[in-house]
A and B are shown apart, each in its own frame.
Chain A
């Protein structure tokens, strides 16, 4: 079927099967390769997409159900978003596979809660896994983006 997906501020006509996940369609039809599949069952967050601003697992959402909603992937943040800058500065990544999902979840957290505590970050980000275990520096990055660098727990 043909779908119109609003991705990163632009409408896109795409071809998809009715039972296809948003993850597969974004990768194949639009080449948005920052959206990645790890678990395929909605527990790891590597395929996180902001759907009307809320982080969702692209592997669980059927593509037709994403029609008419505003979708954001990390490509849509432009590269100079405060959260991206903070991740780079704090080195909140190792292999980088989980990083787009982490950044999108953190961006949403800071919208809802501009001054999160370290504990807030841990809770809000717990749906995103980093097997490299960069968590300490990711927390640092999120607090840095919130302008709360002085509260970083490890320093």
Chain B
């Protein structure tokens, strides 16, 4: 059977058709911060206006700061203020242009560090923590400020540590906002069946979405059905509630199904990656032993928090890096600004924090006159060490990954133009996965689970695992698209957790099936979590580990940074599907390359000015390094390790460190030719 991806037969949410379906278009705020005085809809135009949604519930996966439309105030340029429905997409576009909105402009704030100051313009007056499943940690908002979450680590005595240090480096690093640029746009079809809502949408988070929709429409979750066709890429963009509530509210108002496909230019105001400012102070003894680290992170979450608190928390707990450091102090702030919202992006804060952490390590190596590889190896976490969160590290392979990356780029022959980096990356903790297996009379086994497919290959990998467990051919496994009306609960398809968590649930389900004959159910629960005041607890039940090596050349005339070689070495535990594991790793590296070299959402006065794929380039064939290679490190008897994200975060610092070895030490991403020429 030919794969539908090569015959063109794949169908995505945007391809879903229903009888009587209308097409929707969003009317968006022209101002980054403004009072919405009035919305006027001409005769003949069918529209959803603030008055239609005023009575609906607020939502937000971690902070309940969102309404279906901007009811009284628009908080970013692009904030939805109305939506129209029409027979065709073109008519919807024309109708949207006829809706008149009167605004009163308000002062706005566009920088997270400025926005965190006590005197800053407030984006939201209050911060109500969500009680939902996606708010899996205690939220620490600061009342009367733009800070909607603060995560801290207090480990050892950081002042005493710095007093003990013989060399201290201090630097501020910045990473730009970036855009997912998934090729399939956000697309949703909403349909009301009486008082029950059916949604077809590209989402990585069907159950979190259902929970927020239930809150908006004040109906029980059981009356909402979320069906998830495969996504044409997501990378974190299709998580939590995006445009589904607008489509559903419109569908309810007009009494017909509504399809909402986000036009490409509006994707840049739908969701982006957090820009970050990260201040690092790192102290060591003359022999390179790390003694203290102090980190302050500012994650710009834009006008609505989305999962920004979680991103800031991960930025914070990963900021120390994979090292033994006796004294650690971290404060990581999630800050509102009047920019488009930022959310999950492949790695979830990890890239930003790894850029700062691993560039700082090379600055320290230079000051100490040590080989950066030696400095890292001297301090890397080893089997049984405790991380600064207090948890004990198991199945530790940081040194192995790093040494492999060093070998691959010929580090020991000549270090000029070469750079290394190594990271630890957490997996969503706590989390829960469950799956049901149904045995059919035809010898076919059906998997019922909420793991969604976005190109990462989860369907194929889990089918292989199930086939092995059941002792059948992979062709005997059927894995329909997730449908919350049928599948058991799963936390979500994020943080490279699915192959690891769901394959363990499958083991339990297969055992249950053997006992019961026709149907087996399996569930795994990983407990854990961190105290946000001290950062103590279990950050991750399962750490992703990886390293990268880069060799670069600089064109002295143009500043163009040429990547001669890029390699990553990732701890894979046990590989389930070799080709898919390589695809995910190479894909993450190439995405990291874009982040390193040119990807940046550019704002002017709060407006995105490069909202198209010409002015916002993503890596093409022509941008590939001279050689791009990866090694997946396996260990006999090891557990499966998630691989979806690990290879992205080490790439920018490996390239930055390689560039620094040529005398150009940069602190900000991306490393554009202008920055390289300095």
Contact A94 B621 (CB under 8 A): no
Q: Does A12 contact B (CB under 8 A)?
A: no
By a CB distance below 8 angstroms, the chain A residues around B621 are: 121-123, 125-126, 128, 135, 139
Chain A 86-105 per-residue mask, 1 if CB under 8 angstroms from chain B, else 0: 01100101111111100100
Complex interface: chain A residues within 8 A of B4 (CB): 96
Q: What is the interface size of chain B, counting residues whose CB is below 8 A from a CB of the partner?
A: 52
Q: Quick one: CB contact mask for B1-40 with A, threshold 8 Å, 1 for yes?
A: 0111111111110010000000000000000000000000
* Contact pattern, B 568-610, Cβ under 8 Å of A = 1, otherwise 0: 0000000000011011101111110000000000000000000
| A44 vs B233: C-alpha distance when bound (angstroms) | 14
Q: Which residues of A contact B72 (CB under 8 A)?
A: none
Q: What are 21 sample pairs from A and B whose C-beta atoms fall under 8 A apart?
A: A33-B11, A38-B185, A38-B264, A38-B613, A74-B6, A77-B7, A84-B2, A84-B6, A88-B2, A97-B10, A97-B232, A99-B6, A129-B620, A131-B183, A133-B587, A133-B588, A134-B583, A134-B587, A137-B579, A153-B627, A154-B627
Decide yes or no: A133 and B619 within 8 Å by CB, A39-B264, A94-B587, A99-B6 being known contacts.
yes
- Does B457 touch A at the CB level, under 8 Å? yes
State which residues 71-121 of A face B: CB under 8 Å. 73-75, 77, 79-80, 84, 87-88, 91, 93-100, 103, 121
Tell me the bound Cα distance from A136 to B333 in angstroms.
38
Q: Of B6, B8, B230, B629, which is within 8 A of A33 by CB?
A: B8
- Distance (whole angstroms) from the CB of B191 to the closest CB of chain A: 20
* Contact across chains for B15 and A134 when beta carbons are under 8 A apart: no
Determine whether A30 belongs to the interface, using a CB cutoff of 8 Å to chain B. Answer: no
How far, in Å, is B512 (CB) from chain A's closest CB?
32
Determine the residue in chain B with the shortest Cβ distance to A45. B620
Residues of B close to A131: CB separation below 8 A: 180-183, 233, 235, 591, 618
- Shortest distance between the CB of B232 and any CB in chain A (Å): 3
Sample of 4 further A-B pairs with CB below 8 A, known A93-B6, A100-B8, A122-B621: A88-B3, A99-B8, A135-B590, A154-B627
Assuming the A-B contacts A132-B233, A133-B619, are A97 and B184 also in contact, with contact meaning beta carbons closer than 8 angstroms in the complex?
yes
Contact across chains for B587 and A74 when beta carbons are under 8 A apart: no
**A77 to B235 Cα, complex, angstroms:** 30
Interface centre among B6, B7, B612, B629 (most CB of A within 10 A): B6
A132 contact from B10, B587, B628, Cβ within 8 A: B587
Question: Is the pair B183, A98 in contact by a Cβ cutoff of 8 Å?
Answer: yes
What residues on B are CB-neighbors of A66 within 8 Å?
none
Asked if B455 lies at the interface with its beta carbon under 8 angstroms from chain A, I say yes
Known contacts A39-B264, A94-B455, A95-B231; A135/B624 CB under 8 A:
yes
A103 to B9, CA, bound (A): 14
Q: Does B454 contact A (CB under 8 A)?
A: yes
Asked if A122 and B583 make an inter-chain contact with CB atoms under 8 angstroms apart, the answer reads no
B residues less than 8 Å from A99 (CB atoms): 5-6, 8
Contact with A along B216-239 (1 / 0, CB 8 A): 000000000000001111010000
Contact between chains at A95 and B8 (CB < 8 Å): no
A43 / chain B contacts, CB cutoff of 8 Å: 613-614
Contact B583 A95 (CB under 8 A): no
Q: How far is the CB of A75 from chain B (nearest CB, A)?
A: 5
Known: A36-B232, A46-B183, A133-B590. A79 touches B2 (CB 8 A): yes
A73 to B586, CA, bound (A): 28
Q: How far is the CA of A36 from the CA of B9 in the complex (A)?
A: 12
| CB <8 Å contact, B8 and A73 | yes
Q: What mask results when residues 425 to 468 of chain B are scored 1 for a CB within 8 Å of chain A, else 0?
A: 00000000000000000000000000000111100000000000
Are B628 and A96 closer than 8 Å at their CB atoms?
A: no
Name the one of A32, A94, A103, A126 contacting B457, with C-beta atoms under 8 angstroms: A94
Most A-side CB within 10 Å, residue of B579, B590, B620: B620
- Interface mask (B523-539 → A, CB under 8 Å = 1, otherwise 0): 00000000000000000
Query: Is A65 positioned at the interface, with any CB of B under 8 Å from its CB?
Result: no
CB pair B183 A44 closer than 8 Å: yes
Give which listed residue, A33, A39, A77, A136, contacts B628 with CB less than 8 A.
A136
Contact of B5 among A38, A96, A126, A137 (CB under 8 A): A96
Q: Is the CB of B457 within 8 A of A122?
A: no
Question: How near does chain B come to A29, taking the closest CB pair, in angstroms?
Answer: 13
Which 3 A-B pairs give the minimum distances between C-beta atoms?
A34-B8, A95-B455, A96-B5
Please give the distance in Å from A18's CB to the nearest CB on chain B. 13
Closest Cβ–Cβ distance, residue A127 to chain B (whole Å): 8
Let me know if A74 and B7 touch, CB within 8 A.
yes
Q: Is the CB of B12 within 8 A of A97?
A: yes
Give the distance in Å from the alpha carbon of A99 to the alpha carbon of B6 in the complex: 6
Measured between beta carbons, the chain B residues less than 8 angstroms from A134 are 583, 586-587
Which one, A32, A37, A80, A91, contacts B583 given CB within 8 A?
A91
Are B183's CB and A97's CB within 8 A?
Answer: yes
Which A residues are CB-close (under 8 A) to B184? 36, 38, 95, 97
Q: Which residues of B contact A125 (CB under 8 A)?
A: 621
Q: Quick one: which of B264, B455, B590, B627 contacts A40, CB cutoff 8 A?
A: B264
A100 to B12, CA, bound (A): 14
Q: Are A88 and B583 in contact (CB under 8 A)?
A: no
Is A133 within 8 A of B612, CB to CB?
Answer: no
**Nearest chain A CB to B235 CB, angstrom units:** 7
Give the interface centre of A96, A121, A126 by most chain B CB atoms within 10 Å.
A96
